[in-house]
């Protein structure tokens, strides 16, 4: 019975189907379409059509619905066996190819993950190298990265983009490699000329990171260049204002300032997280994006700090 064929097909999941086209409704054409739909688009299901009326029209209709071979009544048992053997061999080869492709895809994924991890490790080591130039920073870059990632996630930028920002943020001060020690390590305030030289670390960092096709390094370049821009347009190096500043730069500006306030300095004790946030709130809408400052409060609350 054609009515029993579909439940049996679903239960048995056969390697091959012999199908007569001329049956009580549903006919063979309908059954063929339904079976292939249940098997799924990635499954090679050999259907051997049996018919006593193999006209060109019937053949084209059957092929269009997924038939793989035909037998015309009356048929010889030897021919049936040979056609079944050929179809099963084709299915076996198809399954082998599918498994091989899946294995290759898995290897490519493993290799991609390994390369991404190597890239992340390289970035972290570069960030650490930049920090060794400044004895006040310590683990500053990593803390900025963690805060930036949490802010990006809380702002709804998505897990993938937040993770990229978290790693890329660690290179925000990579350009300090190009700043003389006499300026970078000066214990007192910088002169106006020295401050202009210090500001160059943004463009130096961007140049170091430029020219890559990696989304991670492209993001790092953007952050290095723009994390000292201000919401009111009085920052550097380009004097960008408001949302002209890429969101990555705005996020890291807040994360960088927050870590500076909560870290010990020779001239002051570190602020607590809430005190630091209050200080940032005073500059929201002028130095920092007010929405990101507000988001930091939510992040701190979620962390119980």
SS3 51: strand
Domains of the chain plus CATH, in order, are 2-104 (3.40.50.2300), 132-302 (1.10.3210.10)
* Count of other CB atoms within 10 angstroms of residue 94: 14
Q: Decide if pLDDT at 135 tops 60.
A: no
Contact 20, 28 (CB under 8 A): yes
Listed in sequence order, the residues at least 6 apart from 301 whose beta carbon sits closer than 8 Å to its beta carbon are none
Cα 13 to Cα 114: distance, rounded to the nearest angstrom = 38
Q: What is the pLDDT of residues 261-300, one digit of tens each?
A: 998 876 778 899 999 999 999 999 999 999 999 999 999 9
Q: Decide if pLDDT at 196 tops 80.
A: yes
Q: Decide if pLDDT at 71 tops 90.
A: no
Listed in sequence order, the residues at least 6 apart from 92 whose beta carbon sits closer than 8 Å to its beta carbon are none
Phi then psi for residue 239, to 5 deg, are 65, 35
Listed in sequence order, the residues at least 6 apart from 303 whose beta carbon sits closer than 8 Å to its beta carbon are 150
Model confidence band, residue 200 (pLDDT cutoffs 50, 70, 90): very high
Determine what percent of the chain is predicted with pLDDT higher than 70.
94
pLDDT attached to residue 1? 60
Model confidence band, residue 305 (pLDDT cutoffs 50, 70, 90): low
Q: Decide if pLDDT at 108 tops 80.
A: no
pLDDT attached to residue 244? 97
Q: Decide if pLDDT at 138 tops 80.
A: no
Per DSSP, 42 falls in state T
């Amino acid at each position: 019975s054609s009515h029993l064929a579909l439940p049996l097909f679903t239960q048995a999941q056969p390697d091959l189907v012999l199908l007569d086209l001329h049956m009580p409704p549903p006919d063979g054409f309908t059954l063929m379409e339904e079976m292939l739909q249940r098997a799924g688009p990635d499954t090679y299901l050999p259907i051997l059509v049996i018919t006593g009326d193999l006209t060109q029209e019937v053949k084209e209709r059957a092929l269009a619905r997924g038939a793989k071979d035909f037998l015309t009544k009356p048929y010889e048992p030897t021919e049936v066996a040979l056609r079944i053997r050929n179809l099963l061999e084709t299915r076996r080869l198809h399954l082998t190819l599918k498994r091989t492709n899946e294995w290759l895809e898995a290897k490519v994924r493993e290799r991609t993950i390994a390369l991404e991890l190597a890239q992340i490790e390289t970035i972290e080591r570069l960030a650490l190298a930049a920090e060794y130039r400044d004895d006040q920073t310590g683990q500053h870059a990593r803390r900025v990265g963690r805060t930036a990632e949490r802010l990006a996630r809380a702002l709804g930028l998505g897990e993938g983009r937040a993770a990229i920002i978290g790693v890329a943020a660690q290179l925000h001060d990579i350009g300090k490699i190009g700043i003389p020690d006499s300026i970078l390590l000066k214990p007192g305030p910088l002169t106006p000329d020295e401050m202009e030289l210090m500001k160059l670390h943004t463009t130096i960092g961007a140049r170091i990171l430029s020219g890559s096709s990696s989304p991670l390094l492209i993001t790092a370049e953007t952050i290095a260049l723009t994390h000292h821009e201000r919401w009111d347009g009085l920052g550097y190096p380009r004097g960008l204002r408001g949302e002209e500043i890429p969101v990555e730069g705005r996020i890291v500006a807040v994360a960088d300032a927050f870590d500076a306030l909560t870290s010990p300095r020779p001239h002051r004790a570190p602020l607590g997280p809430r005190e630091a946030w209050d200080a940032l709130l005073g500059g929201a809408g002028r130095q920092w994006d007010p929405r990101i400052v507000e988001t930091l409060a939510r992040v701190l609350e979620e962390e119980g700090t």
